[in-house]
Structure 1
Amino acid sequence: MTFFKWNNSVRLRMGYKEFKLELPAVKSFKMKLIFLVHFTLLSWGLLHPWAPEAYEMQGYIFLFLLIWTLLETEGVEHVLVCLAVNIISILLDIIIIAIYFPSHTKNSTAEFSGVMAIFNLIFRVYSSYVLYTEWCTRTGSGGVTVVDSGKQAFSEGGSVRSGSVLAHYPGGPVSPRLAVHTVHTVHNEPDLHSIPPSFTVIN
């Protein structure tokens, strides 16, 4: 009981301290993320020699180009080359996995390596998108833009339609073409007041 009271008094005197951990901003975070993910998946995919040397070579070339892209922050050509290698590697990985995947084996390490190679192939789609956006950013282009032709046509012709609609209301702007058309229509209408009324003769 005495120890409990002493411990409680010490807590009241010391109080609680709040610790905050603030991480600094990381430049090119997505580029570094795809490098770490591809490096990890490639390392796990090469735990067992189930794939030919071409798979290992193209993985190393892609990682080298990624490092070059991270170091050269102003260049454009190596980003384009890295993007092209990554897109071509998607096709090459599909062919290599389809032919050499260790499906008929009892070696768990080989199966794990093959599955990691599939994950590496799937992640190449996202890394290609990141590299494409990085290439567009460095070249100053806007990338892919979707333009709605219907909205564009409405915005271009909106003032004309608005003027024609407002012309039907009192106080609205009346275009000369509409005024001429209105006068012409009024003159062509028959004069109903000049028609004599009809009579009915009852014998």
Structure 2
Amino acid sequence: MTARAVARPQMLVEEFEELAHAAPETVWLEFVSGKLEVKPPSDGNRSTIVMWLLEQCLRQRPELALYPYRGLKAETNRDGRVRPDGSLAPDDHFVGHGEWSDPEGVLMTVEVTSNDPYTDYRDRVEKRRAYATTGIPVYLLVDRGRRAVTVHSEPEKKGYRSVTTRPFGASVEIPDPVRIVLDTEELKEFAD
């Protein structure tokens, strides 16, 4: 039997929280898979997509709210820290929470890809895995580079069992517990 090398985190989660708390307001730090990461700043198109999605959710599920950049404890032991572009949860769900909330009750996380070289691994691999192991029912990836929307559902230990990708312009059904349909035609304007 051979021993498997275990990757050591760059720091303790408590050290990360101190660092994140001391960072300037314009810098958002995340701690994913034991690594310190800087969340890229939101450009105008990315912010517009988040607002578009917020409006879609509000129209179809007014009892829910899409919280932009809400800090969540993530991964199996809740030792990761992420700031999704959006976290869909019941209205007033995060009242009384500190900077980093337990993900219990979050129905969906949303990421909108950035125009940076690390978006592929960060949004398409690391965060997908982090959200699945956390048990978040749905992960919605708005992929500007691929001009597509991917719905991940049925979380498991290493990923999501169900993955559906539709091009911008298609109708996208987001399953339970979210239960909304997105007409993504408008996203074609915000792809770049």
Structure 1 length normalisation: TM-score?
0.22
Greater share of helix residues, 1 or 2? 1
Greater share of strand residues, 1 or 2? 2
Which of the pair has the greater relative contact order for Cα pairs under 8 Å at 6+ separation?
1
Larger Rg: 1
